[in-house]
Amino acid sequence: MPWSNQSGGGGGPWGQRGGPGGRGPWGSGPQGGGTPPDLEDILRRSQDRLKDLMPGGGSFGGKGLVALALGILVVWLLTGFYTVRPNEVGINLIFGAYTGTSGEGLRYNLPAPIGSVVKPDVTAQQRIEVGYRSAPGQGRGRDVLEESLMLTADENIVDLDFDTVWQVNPARAQDFVFNLQNPQGTIKSVAESAMREVIGRRNIQAILTTEQSSITQEVRQIMQEALDSYGAGVLVNVVQLQAAQPPEPVRQAFFDVNAAQQDAVRVQNEAETFASRVVPEARGDAARTVQQAEAYREQSIAEATGQAARFNQVWEQYRHAPDVIRERIFLETMERVIGGTDKIIIDQNGQGSGVVPFLPLNELQRPAASRNANQTPAQTGATR
């Protein structure tokens, strides 16, 4: 043996064989001269020591077995306690069958293998990209044309990139756990289908300009209805358009057409503005001319009516005294004809010089400046 002592002190590393110090590592000396320890003896001694630790005088029967079984049962039952965090909902299962949900805090369910608990996160906002894939530090990243190209109602193609933000419905978390095998793939397929349905009912011009907000609202509503019908237990929070534009090969041509259409609209608006200013002015001038003509007509009719009435009155008086009326008409006519002219009165009877003295009262009453203006240069020099 390797540990034999040639000087006679021998016995191996645990002392002399057979002597007081000749004990093996398990409390007894080696059996026979240098043979290895008996494994069965070692197991038997270990079993005896375990029996000494058990109640009932080292016997596994009776109360000892019951106590051992109860202890194991209690430890197993205590493993059924679990904690639900504020952002989670506990879904309790017994033999794989759903039995109910539990809120936040310390909860209990039968431990494995009889029971189990699934705790999905019901507050995390999940984002799904359709039509593109973002990359860290690169913005929108690369386009996925098989998802983004969609047909419009006027048979044009539009390139759409959009996001869908969703979360687990806290009230139906069990539906999300049991009914969706691939949540990301299912929600993405529903989002793409809903967007194609909405785009297929609109013209491309409205999609690119005025109806983007209504498109996202309609897509979100269709997605929510579809996922509810599947029993998905998902809430669709936001659908947001990232980009809406014509496909790359025809993008520049489309922008040129759009610019031409905008120019046409601008020119039409300018023409309508000019018409809205000129037409009222022309209508006002026409109305003013018509009113002036009507006023002139009324005035002419009134004057003619007055003259006719005056003539009738004169005629009535003339029938009663024709001589007097004839003389009066003559005098009034002469007064009207020669009333404003210079006059020289001559006596036709031939008495005297034939010129009747005349006092020009009207000339004396007029201002001196107007008399001087009426005098000729020769008269002015004679006066000086």
What pLDDT is stored for residue 2 in this prediction? 39
Q: Is residue 113 reached through a cis peptide bond, with omega within 30 degrees of 0 on the bond before it?
A: yes
> What H or E segment, with its residue span, contains residue 227?
helix 212-230
% the chain with pLDDT above 90: 31
What pLDDT is stored for residue 161 in this prediction? 92
CATH number of 126-245: 3.30.479.30
Beta-bridge partner residues of 162: 130, 241
What pLDDT is stored for residue 166 in this prediction? 95
Q: List C-alpha distances in Å: 228 to 172, 175, 231.
A: 10, 10, 5
Q: Closest Cα to residue 201, out of 190, 191, 214?
A: 214
The band of 6, judged by pLDDT with boundaries at 50, 70 and 90, is very low
What pLDDT is stored for residue 214 in this prediction? 93
The band of 310, judged by pLDDT with boundaries at 50, 70 and 90, is confident
The arithmetic mean of pLDDT across residues 334-345, rounded, is 76
Assess contact for 160 and 113: CB atoms under 8 A: no
% the chain with pLDDT above 70: 73
CATH 3.30.479.30 location in the chain? 126-245
The arithmetic mean of pLDDT across residues 79-98, rounded, is 88
Assess contact for 197 and 222: CB atoms under 8 A: yes
- Separation between Cα atoms, residue 93 and residue 162, nearest integer Å: 38
What pLDDT is stored for residue 382 in this prediction? 41
What pLDDT is stored for residue 361 in this prediction? 65
DSSP one-letter string for 196-224:
HHHHTTS-HHHHHTT-HHHHHHHHHHHHH
- Separation between Cα atoms, residue 150 and residue 194, nearest integer Å: 11
- Separation between Cα atoms, residue 137 and residue 315, nearest integer Å: 112
Rounded mean pLDDT of the chain? 79
What pLDDT is stored for residue 115 in this prediction? 86
- Separation between Cα atoms, residue 259 and residue 247, nearest integer Å: 17
The band of 9, judged by pLDDT with boundaries at 50, 70 and 90, is very low
Q: List C-alpha distances in Å: 118 to 91, 173, 219.
A: 5, 10, 31
What pLDDT is stored for residue 152 in this prediction? 92
The arithmetic mean of pLDDT across residues 69-97, rounded, is 87
* Cα angle: 205, vertex 210, 213; to 5 degrees: 125
* Res. 138: pLDDT tops 70: no
The band of 290, judged by pLDDT with boundaries at 50, 70 and 90, is very high
pLDDT tens for each residue of 212-268: 999 999 999 999 999 999 999 999 999 999 988 888 888 788 778 778 888 899 999
Helix (H/G/I), strand (E/B), else coil: 16 = coil
Q: Closest Cα to residue 253, out of 153, 164, 156, 142?
A: 156
* Res. 7: pLDDT tops 50: no
Residue with tokens 């990139």, as numbered in its chain: 161
* Res. 80: pLDDT tops 50: yes
* Res. 313: pLDDT tops 70: yes
Q: Which residue has the higher pLDDT, 10 or 180?
A: 180
Strand order in the sheet with 115-118: 97-102, 90-94, 115-118
pLDDT tens for each residue of 15-71: 444 444 444 444 444 444 456 567 677 767 766 665 665 555 545 556 767 777 888
Q: List C-alpha distances in Å: 374 to 109, 315, 360.
A: 133, 41, 14
